[in-house]
Structure 1
């Protein structure tokens, strides 16, 4: 299954339900440039995520860090962490994405001791699985096996998936990382989500920097530092990019004109919207509208 458009709520929490018919997991192959935006926009979810790049290479962002993940390598992304990805060097990157509800990693009796401390740790937003250590190789091989089990559905495959998940988690926690719990990191994560949530509610209105800062209970300067450190852009640039993202869906509606869309997503000038859209998407809104009409299922 290829998810081409990420449905998120106002705080960027992903709304896609990550589960098969029976199990609270989802496993699918994703080709990054087939997403609606041409990349995987920043989002977060409660599920733990495991990634294995099977073709090309990608730049993943997790919270404020960016790293390159090449073919054969993988990634663990912890619950609640902002993350996104873009294709690197036009490689046509494809990766297996495994999302698992934290409570399903191990039996209920073991969660308190062996799962919850790792989810709550503030120094473990992600782990780069470089396939150099035996524990990393074991995790990556288990991701492949789970993907095969879900596709082929042999007898008792649900039990086999549970076994592979236990293997993944055991190998992850034996790598020896010393867990830390910093209140300041927890507050920082909460504040950026508050500000993003406010933007996603009010993006169609006039937005000032003061409004965004107030939503995060920060000064203007601190607000800007948060966005530049975590999202690598200014608050107002983020607002513009989000408005462009929202316009992509509206432009695919036959009855919507470019001017209508511009005002619906918060621009008070059609020409300004066209200019910013072209810089972001490398085509005009009208060209994009015509392209999507001819290629409704295209990436």
Structure 2
């Protein structure tokens, strides 16, 4: 049973619920969309191209264009968050991030990683669309966030070029820290918080970042926040000061200094050129 459905334009959010021992009406595909199947309640199953598999903790699935699948439930029932992203949209996001040097677009079907970022975006969008408080620009922003989360968490042809996605997933403690950062990068983050999330010392955490990511934790967080600020500058009418704090910077002066260092111009100059 479909609980919720929202079409954002280049993506779609759905929540479906299965009673015990029920399934999708039929085997189906999604045209040119990639569909993310994220379990919320219970232990659902999925069949992709005649191969059956059970969802487990921290495991979610990507169905690619051209593939067929259906979901079903066991004796306890289940609930799933489904996120559709258009291939053309993902190709554009990848090309923008890699400055036109995008490779083919393909993902490994199974991902073992945090789903909290996806759940937070879906919950926020669903909540605020009920009172029509979200503007078009904000919905577009959420679509970019969903795409960024997908490229950051899922392995595929893009992984090496995208950044540290492949490297940090190879080390469990670093993966935990990365998941925490990507879920809450706009909040105040410090080494004590990250080391607790990773379950290792601050010094070992810094070493892992340098070895696997090539940056310190603070440098990585700053880059992530700058990318978010760039997205907001491109897609929203927000004031530069508001964008700085929305992206997680504690002060406008810090944001302006780091933005100019990375992009060679001020945020206001960057926006004029968009």
Larger Rg: 1
Q: TM-score range by the shorter chain?
A: 0.3 to 0.5
TM-score by length of 2: 0.45
